[in-house]
């Protein structure tokens, strides 16, 4: 890897890219591979691969202990966990949900014929805007789903007050927020239930996985039944159910990842601090603000303001991709502008969300990215932004405009 000395050396002008091996957003955090392998070896010898095996039980206990909540029900992924939580909580009719989220949050509703009512987010926190929530409540509304986007907690007190006042269910999609706190309390303890994702790209992964966490004993009982076809015992089905079970190999990965979670978060914090210094003072570029000490800092989120930055977000991404930095747009173009929602619910206009989806760019972080690499990424962003006009010209030329 060689840092570019000047703008002429950028890959968009025909030079070799900075990174021969591309840098991804979302490279998994990997715990000690030998320890994971040993656990997998043991489980193979035990011949107990899934269906509430000992590793899944241990993983559930450790997650509940870390969060400080009564119940953790581990699942095969976060989407199924959302679907089961939604059904277990009895949501029907209309549910208020941000459009600015990974589309799985919305799909989990529509999949069950529940109408997602798209809500704006706060431009500062990128989470559900409670004022807008209030205006969207109708006689058909049964619940609210808040998303702790980037691990940034929703306005939990305001949302709880609204849910109480209107007797609505309050569910949180905490897919990004494992290991995050709100006022000293772990995410996982808010609303009627919260849902984590342990997908490979998350701060803690079980290859694929997820969990419903709750302090409600009855709900936990229902969710447990529902994730295992409704079985209450052999030959005894007492509830409608699906197959949401986590397998033992995933739990093995989860247990080892839990053991290293604090290290993963320390690395993320260090990376974030380095990005902050490296990108400081670039006109039109803002880093997403958070309380680092309460956050898992797992997403390195930048906003590119098209009215102040010399380059648009998308042009900056072209420059970075050419250099082997696979920066990502999130959650472009917004769920309400994706199918089936744009056809099913036409005319939804969410100016704050739409502005955000045009500005947000996520850069590589996590344990797979080194300090030297982050330094090179920051250098590239600064170089590109300092020479915005020349770069925009070159990109027009490459596009044949
Ligand atoms: N709610 C929210 C707010 C969510 O963000 C998500 C998931 C969910 C609910 C649903 O939870 P799950 O059902 O997924 O548990 C990814 C993930 O698939 C998804 O889990 C995640 N959110 C979403 C934000 O991102 P893609 O389409 O961006 O994934 P993909 O395959 O492009 O991977 C991203 C990058 O990560 C790749 O460029 C390479 C790298 N990567 C990926 C994998 C899987 C690796 O290096 N190794 C790997 O094994 O969706």
Note the maximum CA span of the chain. 71
Quote the pLDDT of residue 401: 75
**Mean pLDDT to the nearest integer, 352-363:** 97
Quote the pLDDT of residue 274: 98
Q: Is the CB of 205 under 6 A from ligand 1?
A: no
Q: Is the CB of 201 under 6 A from ligand 1?
A: yes
360: Cβ–Cβ under 8 A, 6 or more apart, which residues?
A: 301, 302, 303, 313, 329, 330, 331, 332
CA–chain centroid gap for 279, Å, is: 23
Question: 198 CA distance to ligand 1 centroid (A)?
Answer: 10
Quote the pLDDT of residue 5: 86
Q: Ligand 1 pocket: which of 23, 26, 197 to mutate (most atoms <8 Å of CB)? A: 26
pLDDT at position 28 over 90: yes
Ligand 1 atom closest to the CA of 80, numbered from 1:
13
User: What is the enclosing helix (H) or strand (E) of 86?
Assistant: helix 78-88
With contact defined as beta carbons under 8 Å apart, do 151 and 180 qualify? yes
Integer Cα distance of 197 and 203 in angstroms: 9
- The DSSP result for 333-370, as a single string, is T-GGGSTTHHHHSTT---HHHHHHHHHEEEE--STTS-
Quote the pLDDT of residue 199: 98
- pLDDT above 70 covers what percent of the chain? 100
Quote the pLDDT of residue 399: 87
**81-133: pLDDT as tens digits:** 999 999 999 999 999 999 999 999 999 999 999 999 999 999 999 999 999 99
Q: Is the CB of 147 under 6 A from ligand 1?
A: yes
- The DSSP result for 39-72, as a single string, is HHHHHHHHT--SSS-HHHHHHHHHHHHHHT-SEE
pLDDT at position 306 over 90: no
**188-217: pLDDT as tens digits:** 999 999 999 999 999 999 999 999 999 999
DSSP 90: T
- Within 10 A of 390 (CB to CB), how many other CB atoms are there? 15
Integer Cα distance of 76 and 57 in angstroms: 14
Q: Is the CB of 102 under 6 A from ligand 1?
A: yes
Question: 201 CA distance to ligand 1 centroid (A)?
Answer: 5
Q: Which pLDDT band, with edges at 50, 70 and 90, does 400 fall under?
A: confident
Question: 321 CA distance to ligand 1 centroid (A)?
Answer: 19
Quote the pLDDT of residue 96: 98
pLDDT at position 187 over 90: yes
Integer Cα distance of 229 and 231 in angstroms: 6
Q: Which pLDDT band, with edges at 50, 70 and 90, does 335 fall under?
A: very high
Ligand 1 atom closest to the CA of 208, numbered from 1:
15
Q: Which pLDDT band, with edges at 50, 70 and 90, does 310 fall under?
A: confident
- Average pLDDT score, the chain: 97
Which residue puts its alpha carbon closest to atom 23 of ligand 1?
102
């Amino acid at each position: 890897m060689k840092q570019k000395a000047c703008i002429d050396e950028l890959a968009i002008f025909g030079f070799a890219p900075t990174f021969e091996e591309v840098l991804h957003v979302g490279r998994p955090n990997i715990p000690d591979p030998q320890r994971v392998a040993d656990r997998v070896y043991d489980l193979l010898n035990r011949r107990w691969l899934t269906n509430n095996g000992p590793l899944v039980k241990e993983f559930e206990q450790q997650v509940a202990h870390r969060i400080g909540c009564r119940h953790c029900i581990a699942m095969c992924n976060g989407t199924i966990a959302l679907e089961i939580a939604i059904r277990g909580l009895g949501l029907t009719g209309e549910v208020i949900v941000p459009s600015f989220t990974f589309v799985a949050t919305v799909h989990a509703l529509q999949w069950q014929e529940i109408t997602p009512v798209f809500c704006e987010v706060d431009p500062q926190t990128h989470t559900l805007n409670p004022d807008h929530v209030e205006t969207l409540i109708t006689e058909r509304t049964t619940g609210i789903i808040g998303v702790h986007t980037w691990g940034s907690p929703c306005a939990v007190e305001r949302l709880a007050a609204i849910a109480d006042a209107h007797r609505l269910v309050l569910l949180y999609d905490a897919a990004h927020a494992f290991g995050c706190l709100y006022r000293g309390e772990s995410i996982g303890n808010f609303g009627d239930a919260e849902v984590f994702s342990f997908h490979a790209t998350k701060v803690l992964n079980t290859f694929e996985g997820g969990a419903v966490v709750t302090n409600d004993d009855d709900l936990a009982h229902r969710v447990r039944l529902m994730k295992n076809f409704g079985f209450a015992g052999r030959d005894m089905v007492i509830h409608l159910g699906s197959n949401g079970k986590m397998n033992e190999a995933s739990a093995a990965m989860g247990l080892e990842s839990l053991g290293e979670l604090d290290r993963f978060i320390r690395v993320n914090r260090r990376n974030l601090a380095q990005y902050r210094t490296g990108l400081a003072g670039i006109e039109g570029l803002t880093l997403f603000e958070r309380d680092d000490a309460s956050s898992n800092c797992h997403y390195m989120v930048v906003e590119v303001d098209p009215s102040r930055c010399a380059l648009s977000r998308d042009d900056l991404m072209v420059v970075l991709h050419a250099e082997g930095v696979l920066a990502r747009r999130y959650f472009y173009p917004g769920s309400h502008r994706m199918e089936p929602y744009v056809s099913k619910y036409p005319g939804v206009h969410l100016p704050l969300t739409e502005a955000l989806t045009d500005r947000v760019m996520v850069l590589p972080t996590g344990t797979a990215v080194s300090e030297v690499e982050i330094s090179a990424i920051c250098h590239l962003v600064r170089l590109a932004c300092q020479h915005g006009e020349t770069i925009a010209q070159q990109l027009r030329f490459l596009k044949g405009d």
